[in-house]
Structures are given as C-alpha cells and as structure tokens.
Amino acid sequence: MNSLEMTIKKDNRFIIVGGGIGGLATALGLAQHGIKSIVLEKSSKLGEIGAGIQLGPNAFHGFDYLGVGDQARQLSVYIDDLILMDAIKGNEITRISLGEKFRERFKNPYAVVHRGDLHGVFLKACVDNYLIELQTNANVIGYYQEDEIVSANLDDGTLINGVALIGAEGLWSKIRNQLVGDGPPRVSGHTTYRSVIPYADMPEELRWNAATLWAGPKCHIVHYPLHGGNSFNLVVTSHNDAPEPVAGKLVSKEVVRKGFEHVNEIARQIIERGKDWKLWVLCDRDPITNWVDRRVTLLGDAAHPMLQYLAQGACMAIEDAVCLSEQMKNGLDDIENSLINYQNIRNLRTARVQLHSREIGKHVYHPDGVHALLRNKIMKSKSQDEWYDNIEWLYGSTGLDS
Ligand SMILES: Cc1cc2nc3c(=O)[nH]c(=O)nc-3n(C[C@H](O)[C@H](O)[C@H](O)COP(=O)(O)OP(=O)(O)OC[C@H]3O[C@@H](n4cnc5c(N)ncnc54)[C@H](O)[C@@H]3O)c2cc1C
C-alpha cells in the first residue's frame, strides 16, 4: 500500500448512483484528486446501447481532465462538417466546417463515437483504478443522511455508506425524486428511431464524413459515420405527439416510415436502409435551481435531462463530472459547500443547453412553410466566422467555468 492508500478510510468514499457516462466520469474525476468512490449500477452489466454519440470540443477537455484523453481520441471519428439539409427540397442549407480553424478556435476537435466504445474507455479506466469500486445489481431506491454519513438504500434492504452521494442515474432518477420531487419528466411528443448499419449499406451518395441533419416539417433525419468509418449511425425523429415515454423498443420499418412520407426521396432512403430500428419517446425537464441536499447532489441527466438536439447531454454530464471533481480537489473537509459551488457553477450553463435544445427543435429542426423559409434564409447568410461566434458559448467552455 502506498501512502495515499493508507490515508483513505473504509467509508471515506463518495457513493455514485448510476454507472452511465456521467457516473463513471465522476468516479474518474474524483480519483484524480485521490478520492475514493463506489459506483452502484442497477443493471447486471455495465454498458451502453449500441448507437452513436456526437462529442463537442468541450467533451475532449473533459476526457483530458479525467485521464482518458488519448483513449477517447483513438476511437473517435473526426468528421469534416456539420451539414444542414432541407429535407423537403433535398438541397444543402448550410454547413459548419470542423477543420483546422475550428480546432484552433475551440482547442479541440468535434468527433463522433460509438457509445459502447466510449463507455468502454471509461469503464476500463475505472476498473484499473484502485480508488474506484463498481457494484452491479444495485438498484438504489433512495438515500438517508445523518451528520457526516450518507447511505444509499438498495431495493433489497442493503445500506451503502459514504461521505457524499451523487445521483447520476439518468432521466428517471430516484435520488432526484427524493431531493426535488418534481414528478415524472416532460414527454416531448417527439419519437426518435435509431439504427446502426454497415458502411456498404449506406446509399453511396450519402457516405459523407459529416454529421448531417435533414430538417423537415415535424421531422428530421441525422446520419454520421462510426467505427473508423465502417458503419453509419442513423437517427430519425418524428414530432408525432406520442403521449407516453418509451425507451429502446424494437419496431418495424413500416412504423418508422410513417412520419417521413413527405420527405425528399434521397433522405427517405435512410429509413429503407436502416435495420433493427429501436424507438424512444423523448423526455426532458424544465431547469431547476436546487440540486443539493447537504451531502447529496445530482449530475448528468438526473440533474438536467434535455432533448438531444444540441447533441450535448453526455457532454454536459462529462462537464459536470469535471466541475464537481475540481470542487473536491482540496479534499473532503468541506463537502457541503463544495457541492453548492458545483451546483452554482453548473446551473445556468446546463439550463441554457436544456432550453436551447428545445428551441432549436422548434426553429431549426422541425419548422414548416414560411418558418422553414426564414430558417433557410437566416442560416444560409452566416459566414464560418459568424457560426463560430454563435457556438462559442457552448464549445468554448470546459465545465470549469459557468
Ligand atoms: C436519441 C439520443 C441521442 C443523443 N445524442 C447525444 C449526442 O450526440 N451527444 C451527447 O452528448 N448526448 C447525446 N444524448 C444524451 C445522452 O445520451 C445522455 O445525456 C447521457 O447518456 C446521460 O448520461 P448519464 O450518465 O447522466 O445517464 P444515463 O446514461 O441514463 O445513465 C444512468 C445509469 O444509471 C443506471 N440506473 C438507473 N436507475 C438506477 C438506480 N435506481 N440505481 C442504480 N443505477 C441506476 C442506469 O442503468 C444507467 O446505467 C442523446 C440522447 C438521445 C436519447
């Protein structure tokens, strides 16, 4: 045992509820400062669904802080552009170049990765770190705190003790339910279908090294390459007023086709090429100001669930992990104030992303008629420098500043 190990007492650890990207990132961030944690994951196996994820430069600052920068960079696909297409007319509206100028400005790249691969990087780093304990089949139903001890209550009656607890268990967080009690998430009425297909199955004219978004009335289609360009991630969304939350249900192609009958033939091919489509009815919440109850706080989707339209939910969870860890860098002496500082630094930035994600759904992704023409006119008129200025607030931050 080295001296650092000797100083860590048995329950002098953070309890992290949820082993998703946010939970594992937090465990790694705390470990950077010598803080021990136990991650409690409800599932029998730690993992992620087989779909893609876009990563802004802000996520890469986070990877470096968490000590997994090289590994995350190795598995990323570096796309050239973000392209916005008109899904009815079939023409390009605008594109944001992600080349050298973008990297210089934001100090890091924009990339896409397979979620499972990214989660695997975090998981390996956690497994290899003696400060981190991972426990599966641990379904947390609430917490209890007294003086300097916090307990996670498991559904089998077990209590897990620590000095602080982070609710990082996603959209349906039980910790949030106890801490905030603001009821179930808001059902957006937007239905997303996801599929991953081999490179060869992608229509030849759409094999672009870009994240492409086809925007149409009450629907949109997204595609980008994965796995070093060996496959394509397909995500199509219909604003069909779906009333109930659903996550990951297998559906037939006929179901997916329904919201896209009015879309240009080229974009519609995406639906025909997709296989094993899975359905999600998207949910989010209104931002809130209080994420802290003494030694308990929230992180990632548990704190600020958002629609995916800025492709930032996981990026924000990583930023949260960085910010919280930084607040803990001086040790465990003042946990309650450190958690309040974390909340105060993160609160408005994440609220902005939550609200902005909803708004671009309305004004960029799904408008019709004059609203769509206006979108095209405004977006076409921007130069690359103007685009970079517009996205500075999002990509120019690291999670350490509010
Ligand atoms: C269609 C779609 C596309 C997206 N695209 C992007 C993108 O391009 N870029 C981006 O940054 N974000 C994207 N997101 C958002 C991103 O997926 C989420 O914001 C991110 O996964 C949140 O991570 P998390 O760790 O907070 O929560 P989660 O990923 O939900 O992880 C929570 C973990 O907690 C566990 N858990 C749940 N309940 C309990 C319990 N009671 N006890 C113990 N464990 C529990 C779960 O099993 C899970 O492992 C997208 C989301 C969707 C729906």
Does any ligand 1 atom lie closer than 6 A to the CB of residue 139?
yes
Does any ligand 1 atom lie closer than 6 A to the CB of residue 314?
yes
Alpha carbon of 20 to ligand 1 centroid (Å): 6
Q: Hey, how many other C-beta atoms are within 10 angstroms of the C-beta on 41?
A: 23
Alpha carbon of 385 to ligand 1 centroid (Å): 33
Does any ligand 1 atom lie closer than 6 A to the CB of residue 235?
yes
CA 321, CA 176: separation in Å to the nearest integer?
A: 17
Alpha carbon of 48 to ligand 1 centroid (Å): 8
Q: Which atom of ligand 1 is nearest to the CA of 54?
A: 8
One-letter-per-residue 3-state SS of 294-332: CCEEECHHHCCCCCHHHCCHHHHHHHHHHHHHHHCCCCC
Cβ proximity of 247 and 282 under 8 Å: no
pLDDT given at position 5: 44
DSSP helix/strand/coil, 358: helix
DSSP 169-192: --TT-HHHHHHT---SPEEEEEEE
Q: Hey, how many other C-beta atoms are within 10 angstroms of the C-beta on 240?
A: 14
pLDDT given at position 90: 95
pLDDT given at position 49: 81
Nearest to 282 by CA among 223, 240, 222, 233: 240
Cβ proximity of 220 and 193 under 8 Å: no
What is the chain's pLDDT, residue by residue, as a tens digit (402 residues)?
344 443 444 479 999 999 999 999 999 999 999 999 999 999 999 988 878 999 999 999 999 999 999 999 999 999 999 999 999 999 999 999 999 999 999 999 999 999 999 999 999 999 999 999 999 999 999 999 999 999 999 999 999 999 999 999 999 999 999 999 999 999 999 999 999 999 999 999 999 999 999 999 999 999 999 988 899 999 999 999 999 999 999 999 999 999 899 999 999 999 999 999 999 999 999 999 999 999 999 999 999 999 999 999 999 999 999 999 999 999 999 999 999 999 999 999 999 999 999 999 999 999 999 999 999 999 999 999 999 999 999 999 988 876
Distance of CA 158 to the CA centre of its chain: 30
Nearest to 304 by CA among 294, 291, 293: 291
Q: Which residues contact 181 (CB under 8 A, 6 or more apart)?
A: none
CA 285, CA 321: separation in Å to the nearest integer?
A: 20
Q: Please, where are the H alpha helices in 334-383?
A: 335-360, 369-380
DSSP 208-252: -SEEEEEEETTEEEEEEEEGGGTEEEEEEEEE----S-EEEEE--
- Tokens of residue 203, six digits: 């229509």
pLDDT given at position 9: 44
pLDDT given at position 7: 41
Alpha carbon of 21 to ligand 1 centroid (Å): 7
CA 213, CA 168: separation in Å to the nearest integer?
A: 30
